[in-house]
Structure 1
Amino acid sequence: MLAVMMHQFESASQKYADENGIVRDPDWYMLKLQEEVGEVTQAWNRLTGRGRGKGRSEEEMKRDLADETADLLGHVLLLAHRNGLDIEEAIERKWRFRPSK
Structure 2
Amino acid sequence: MLGKLTAQFEAASADYAQHHGMVRDPDWFVLKLQEEMGELTQAWNRATGRGRRKGRTDEDLSRDLADETADLLGHVLLFARNNRIDLASAIERKWLFRPEEG
TM-score tier by shorter-chain length is over 0.9
Matched, 1:59 2:59: yes
Unaligned runs of 5+ in 1: none
TM-score, L = length of structure 2: 0.97
Structure 1 position 58, deviation (Å):
1.1
- Runs in 1 of length 4+ with deviation above 6 angstroms? none
> How far apart are the structure 2 equivalents of 1:22 and 1:4?
24
Across the aligned residues of Structure 1 and Structure 2, the Cα RMSD in angstroms comes to: 0.6
Q: How many residue pairs were aligned?
A: 101
| SS at 1:56 equivalent | coil
Unaligned runs of 5+ in 2: none
Task: Give the partner amino acid of 2:96.
Answer: R
TM-score, L = length of structure 1: 0.98
Structure 1 position 74, deviation (Å):
0.3
1:28 alignment partner in structure 2:
28
Task: Give the partner amino acid of 1:75.
Answer: H
Percentage identity across aligned positions?
66
